[in-house]
Amino acid sequence: MTKTREVVVASDPTNHGALVGHVGESQFPVGGPDGAGHISSGPNPYDLLSASLAACTAMSVRFQARRQKLPLERLEVGVSFHHGAQGERDSFVRTLVLGGKLDGQQRAFLLEAANLCPVGKMLGIGADINTRLDATTSGHSPSTQASYDDDLAQLPIPNITPD
């Protein structure tokens, strides 16, 4: 029997209808337009996609490092999402920071392991995913983060306008 895991996103009447995601016992806010002209706090759907790709990548790299008994001491995966211009594919840039006494061959192996991430394979059908190694940081910079309004403005969806 195939098991499924359902994610439910529902409005929270106790918090002005803000959206809340539910996965099993876990809950998290979902940010974006609230239907009343405000922007709810929390990760928006594009942030959640990026977080899914980062988490799956980290799990895939960590699994392969442990399986091969590689000296991976620290792992950081940063993911940024970029809307494609009209007619171009959307893309993700994924940056890996690998800490530990890894040689070049081991780093290359773990970079390949990142590309085996199942979420990345699924997302790669409709978007480009570029992966790179970085020795220091994933490049996360809160000051350059796009807003959900920026994301919505990029989408040519007829008859739907942002709140």
Q: CA 82 to CA 39: how far, in whole Å?
A: 21
3-state secondary structure of 8: strand
Quick one: 14 and 81 in the same domain? no
What pLDDT tens digit does each residue of the chain (163 aa) get? 677 778 899 988 888 788 999 988 899 999 988 667 778 889 999 999 999 999 999 999 999 999 999 999 999 999 999 998 888 899 999 999 999 999 999 999 999 999 999 999 998 888 888 888 886 655 555 445 555 566 555 554 444 444 4
CB-CB contact of 40 with 31 (8 Å): yes
Domain membership of residue 140 (yes or no) is: yes
Residue 159 lies in a domain: no
CB atoms within 10 A of CB 82: 17
CB 20 within 8 A of CB 43: no
State the total domains in the chain.
2
Per-residue three-class SS string for 78-132: EEEEECCCCCCCEEEEEEEEEECCCCHHHHHHHHHHHCCCHHHHHHCCCEEEEEE
DSSP conformation letters of 20-48: EEEETTEEEEE-EE-SSS-EESS--HHHH
Residue 59 belongs to what domain range?
45-144
- CATH code for the domain in which residue 118 is found: 3.30.300.20
Q: In this structure, are 28 and 58 located in the same domain?
A: no
